[in-house]
Amino acid sequence: MEKATLGGGCFWCTEAIFKRLIGVDEVVSGYAGGIRENPSYEQVTTGATGHAEEVQVEFDPDQITYAKLIEIFFNLHDPTTLNRQGADEGTQYRSVIFYHNEIQRETAEKVRDEIADSGLYKDPIITEIVPFEAFYTAEEYHQNFYEMNKNQGYCSYVISPKIRKLLKEYSREVKEEYRKE
């Protein structure tokens, strides 16, 4: 198993997407990229900790490649907006990839460049690609948030459309139990 640590806005959205993929064993919401050890959600939301909302994805590279994870990451959030995803604004919502080794760094840069050259986005991709240092697991009520709150407004209006896009564009990569959503 390998790990990928990714931030594409609210971790509720990112977690819901990646947990649906074949080859993904576990997705944990948390915080990375800041200066405070073991931060709380309340501390992270101030922007003062420097942390971003992240997910840590444990995956089997024989079933899904790191490159495919990064491709999906770039296609299911807006990597062109600085410190913002939709109405979520602040450095904690920045687009960032924390690579765990040089192969991941090279792969993330290659996929980023391919997406940039594809014309998918009219604005430049500003996603940070930086070395992984530490990951702090978010509070329990943030874990598996979408599954436990599907009818909540944010889930219905923000997360559900991303899942529909995943199902439309990456149906072969989605676990069987999620294909009928």
Which pLDDT value is given to residue 14? 97
Smallest Cα–Cα separation from 25: which of 50, 56, 60, 51?
60
Which pLDDT value is given to residue 109? 98
Which pLDDT value is given to residue 181? 80
CA distance 41 to 43: 5
CA distance 178 to 170: 12
| DSSP 3-state of 4 | strand
Active-site annotation holder among 10, 17, 57, 138: 10
**Cα 3 off chain centre by:** 12
For residue 149 the two structure tokens come to 């709150």
Which pLDDT value is given to residue 180? 82
Which pLDDT value is given to residue 25? 98
Question: Can you give 116-163 as a three-state secondary structure string?
Answer: HHHCCCCCCCCCEEEECCCEEECCHHHCCHHHHCCCCHHHHHHHHHHH
Mean pLDDT by 10 residues, the chain (181 residues): 97 97 98 97 96 98 98 97 93 98 98 97 97 98 97 94 96 93 80
Which pLDDT value is given to residue 157? 94
Which pLDDT value is given to residue 84? 94
Which pLDDT value is given to residue 88? 92
155 is catalytic: no
**Cα 82 off chain centre by:** 15
Which pLDDT value is given to residue 139? 98
CA distance 176 to 119: 31
